[in-house]
Structure 1
């Protein structure tokens, strides 16, 4: 086993890991030898790296009532378009090339992140093909001991660091809800994370459970391909947002059904309105749960942990990133439904860098806990969405980030609205629609 010491260990070389490393080097006054990024695939990009090496097998097994469901830890499929315009998705200091289009494909985003890592000299900090098996905080000297398995050399590295920054995202554990009668189903079961291309479903009758971003887009891809016998989408509440999401699917003959009630004999699916369908494949587009198996610690109680027991929600994180019980543990980019995730990662990374260089001092535990408690009564997952401006502005005010949300994002939003609305010469409609959340997706459907 090799030993190495550094000041910061970052888990993950996706967008959040790269921007965190950049600001630690450029603002946090750290050298390349002080920062180690651990990446288990063979290149940067995180979830945008479709062709990365498969994750550890134990991380991808999902079952319901003992029935295995096919999943993957590479949830980006062929022909995927971003669900945000590139003008709003980019980091503040590096735009996407115009040639990538308004809604870039997966490989263009991967290339963008590769160039970003090159420009900021991050490759010297990265351990590729390395899997984090365990992270623990020592009581003797208070440092983090991170055990890393090097896949190429079939060896272990023990890293010792002052801080541990988790940038592995929240697409780690596919979630599949319980279904009454599932054991009776004789067809294929899979999660949307395992979807790759429409050709895999030729002559199948596919039932997609869930109609948010992934479910609606997969439904559109399958319906438009005309390879399936039928495409059925089960949506519990078909409100206006889902109707917009499912536009491509419905225009190409997809069948929309209400919530699933139970599975009966001979693959009969009974829906809440009494209707029945007979799929040969059930695809669960039902999201993910937070999972950090390398951080499992039996000594930490469920109440004091960084994640709720069911994996549904992060907790005890001051300003949504600093673990209150131990500020040397940090999580970047764990909130859901981010308007501009790369930029929000950037605000968080800059704030963290100012803490590392001593410019920003964290308040006492009691004050940090007050901030956490003020958000603890919010129902559901930690969804930023329309809270993004106030959240990012608050971090910028503390850390001195050059550019408030209103100075960076709103001009980009105005420009994007004008592009999307220009075919109809309705700029005002474009701006209003964007504020409602529909223009993004309508424009994306044109590209799709």
Structure 2
């Protein structure tokens, strides 16, 4: 393994690979270019277009095992639908999806959403927005190229990275050496379905009854069915609302805690978590003892596992059970090997401006214009976060107001660089912080008003929104 780089050693970063051309990968490319300190920048993207999770694939690849609790496995395989000009990978995007974040909060600091898009933009609007955002970095992107392996090597006492990629079209493999790597491939690929008593036998007896939200595309298949949707976060709320309009009433929403936001709740009934599956009755028993029989469909909106199959050679492992990414400072730089960075790990945050702030920090640190703390200080940061939030899924959760504080902390840190900003990231003023605090209230009013409003003012909200 390579030596440990600390803030007392100068980085020698000239060649950088970015894995993923989704929202955080695109932001990383822009800020690295703006820094004008690097000789080579390659962006690897397995899809035919930018967008990452926002690039909609109507086809669904494979079936998620039930239960599914491990992040380990080979890179995902594509499909080549009949008549399609290109192979595709499935992702969690479904047919009728609008963001759950209003566009003044969601957008990058240097590009507004189209004035004609709805206040909570559709998936199509977001994809169009990202294609526009990508225009000045598209020449760097290697489309149809999947990263198969990233291997750490040591040369002259410095860490280097051998990246092996594979063409999705020709299957040709190529290995290139880089001085640094940004992992920007997201964390919405490997579904999590918990191991509940009896779930495996139930799934064997009634195949396809249990699915994960990654396989959801539209409510049509649930018409007149008795349905349980598990989870009350953004996907559980939205998918449950869509299905509730066509399924047998009421839709049962299995939750650990009551949802903070109620949308069209008259068609839903909140029930406790499932304690056991009962095969003979095609039933489930909830934690309060209630039994529901003759279940037609169960949709797990229970999130995803962090998974990096191309980093399988790293020791100690980057991920173990998939609930968090290990050995990271500020959820960004690998502590032992800080020429490896992970973007957009935080959850319950606003990812586009957060990715900008992280990208600005990476660009400055690797250009030796901004110093990382000592290794000891970075270890202390991680240990303190584990002590406060645990060594599991909660480690990466920000939520409000911590996501606003994180964005502004990154901004203020980058501002201390010895040459100032090469490209200025987002910094949230009081108006954006206030909107972040109230955005669920805004969303509820947006839905109640018919879901067509384009501005906050149309809904009666007045914010003077400035970065």
TM-score (norm 1): 0.83
Query: Which residue number corresponds to residue 25 of structure 1?
Result: 33
Q: How does 1:248-259 map to 2 (within 5 A)?
A: 248=264, 250-251=265-266, 253-259=267-273
The residue aligned with 2:7 is none
Relative to 1, partners in 2 of residues 1:389 and 1:109: Cα closer, same or farther, differing over 3 Å? Answer: same
Ranked by relative contact order (alpha carbons within 8 Å, sequence separation 6 or more), the top structure is: 2
Q: In the alignment, which residue of structure 2 is the partner of 1:273?
A: 288
Structure 1 match to 2:163: 146
- How many Å separate the matches in 2 of 1:52 and 1:30? 38
- Alpha-carbon contact 1:9-1:161 (below 8 Å) kept: yes
124 and 222 in structure 1: CA distance in 2 versus 1, 3 angstrom threshold? same
Contact 2:101 2:120 in 1 (8 A): yes
Residue of structure 1 in register with 2:443 after alignment? 441
Determine whether 1:99 maps to 2:116: yes
Secondary structure of 1:99's match? Answer: coil
**What residue in structure 2 maps to residue 410 of structure 1?**
430
Q: State the secondary structure of the residue aligned to 2:318.
A: coil
- Per the TM alignment, residue 152 of structure 1 is displaced from its structure 2 partner at its CA by 1.6
- Which residue number corresponds to residue 196 of structure 1? 217
Shift of 1:73: 4.4
In the superposition, the TM-score normalised over structure 2's length comes to 0.80
Give, in whole Å, the separation in 2 of the partners of 1:313 and 1:396.
24
SS of 2:377's partner is helix
**After superposition, what is the alpha-carbon deviation per residue over 1:63-116, rounded to whole angstroms, capped at 9, x for unaligned?**
3289xxxxx841011110101000100001111011111000001100100000
Note if contact 1:144-1:164 (Cα within 8 Å) is conserved in structure 2.
yes
Native 8 Å contact 2:57 2:90 kept in 1: no
Aligned match of 1:176: 193
Q: Which has the higher helix share?
A: 1
Q: Is residue 222–residue 228 contact of structure 1 (8 Å, CA) maintained in 2?
A: no
Quote the residue 1:233 is aligned against.
253
Residue 312 (structure 1) aligned to one of 323, 327, 348: 323
| Matching of residue 48 in structure 1 with residue 65 in structure 2 | no
Distance in structure 1 (CA, Å) of the matches to 2:441 and 2:171: 49
Shift of 1:365: 1.5
- 1:41 and 1:52 in contact (8 A); partners too: no
After superposition, the C-alpha distances for 1:385-443 in whole angstroms (9 at most, x for unaligned) are 221233223222221157786x53533455xx5xxxxxxxxxxxxxxxx6266314314
Deviation at 1:6, TM superposition (A): 7.2
Contact 1:179 1:262 in 2 (8 A): yes
Task: State the shift of 1:376 in Å.
Answer: 2.2
Asked if residue 81 in structure 1 is aligned to residue 90 in structure 2, the reply is no
- Report if aligned partners of 2:332, 2:343 keep a CA contact under 8 Å in 1: yes
Match of 1:13 in 2: 21
Q: Which SS does the other structure have where 1:306 is aligned?
A: coil
Q: Number of residue pairs matched? A: 401
Whether 1:113 and 2:100 are equivalent positions in the alignment is no
Q: Name structure 1 gaps, 5 residues minimum.
A: 67-71, 418-433
Secondary structure of the residue aligned to 1:396 is helix
